[in-house]
Every structure is written in C-alpha cells, then in structure tokens.
Chain A
C-alpha cells in the first residue's frame, strides 16, 4: 500500500538554526510528493512539490529533493525564522484515481 512516515515532533529550534524534517514513503509506482504547511488556526497550504525522481521542490527558503533510491523527501531550510513555526505535513499522490496520502505532521517551534 501507500504510506508516508514523518519524523515525530515536536521539533524546537532556535532562530537561524538549520532545519531538517525527515519524510519517507512507500508507494507502488511513481508518486508525486508534497510538503504542506499549516499555520496556527489555518488550513493546510502547499509549501512545495516534486513530481518525479531527482526533482527538487523549493519555496520560501525551504527545499526537498525527491530521492527514489531512498524513498525519501526530506524538508530542509538553512536558517529558520520564528515565522516558520507551524505544522508540516509530507504527502504523496500515488497516481491514477487514488487519493493523497498524508504523514502524521511535525510541529515545529522556532524560538527567538
């Protein structure tokens, strides 16, 4: 089946620290991969995506590379800000008529 596993949170960092949130997946075929972000009191919004192996998605200083050999899509940012505090969800779309599959979410808190 299709599944997504994220590193458990919460994650707490100081401002300007380097961020990695791990995401690995299991899928039949060649899925598209997504990172969503949820700020307090809001719905999820797309942060970045990659639709094929070796693609790198990037947005707002965040990056993630689709690694087929390790079935991973780790989220990274070189220098986090307090405003990056949110919950981050990794997701995959298996293709065909199937549905998005979400990870459990990782709560990130950045302290000044």
Chain B
C-alpha cells in the first residue's frame, strides 16, 4: 500500500468552527489532491498541489483553503465549517505523469452539526 495517511479519520464539529484535515505521505510524490465525495456527485476536486507552496483550486474550492509547506504534508482547512461541508474527504497522491495512477488515503468522514 502507498504510504498515505489521513487524520483524523472521523470528526464531528459545529457550524462556524475552523477545521483542519491532514494528509501525510511517505512516497515523495510531487502531486497531492483533496477530493470530497458525496452521494450523487462522485468525486469532486477541492484543491491540489504540484509542489511545496504550489497549490491551485479545483472545481469546488469555495470555503476551503490548503497549505503545503513540506513535500509530505498537505493540509485542508475549512475556515468556518458549514453543514454543506459535511462529506467524506479523500486525499490522493501521484507522480503527476500520464502513465501512473493516483493513490488514495482511507478518507476522513466530517460531520458539521
């Protein structure tokens, strides 16, 4: 299995509070991604990173920010959580080239009440 760890695995938080999810890799892959998975929507890309301090927005980035200060860590922050951000969040890593696949973490189930 690819060395990719998400923390926490489960979290319940209140509306309006900040939340940070962490993705840690031991594979030295250049690309890291944050997705959310919701029924009926499949996987939607929130943000991704193509190197330390290099990040870009995905298709559903509103309300989320990210940071990557080290190759191995990619943080996703919900500045002020809302109920619409209740979801399962997946981190993924890849070399980024066309021939190799992405590897996914186990997911974080976030509930905003």
Question: Measuring CB to CB, which residues of chain A are less than 8 angstroms from any residue of chain B?
Answer: 31-32, 34, 36, 42-46, 49, 51, 89, 93-97, 99-100, 102-105
Query: CA A51 – CA B42 in complex, angstroms?
Result: 23
B2 to chain A, nearest CB (A): 9
- The count of chain B contact residues (Cβ–Cβ below 8 Å) is 21
The A/B interface has a contact count, at CB < 8 Å, of 47
Q: Which of B43, B98, B102, B106 contacts A95 (CB 8 A)?
A: B98
Give me 13 other A-B pairs in contact (C-beta within 8 A), A43-B107, A99-B33, A100-B33 excluded: A34-B101, A36-B104, A42-B106, A43-B90, A44-B43, A44-B102, A46-B101, A46-B103, A49-B101, A99-B58, A102-B43, A103-B42, A105-B42
B45 lies within 8 A of A99 (CB): yes
Distance in angstroms between the alpha carbons of A105 and B41 in the assembled complex: 9
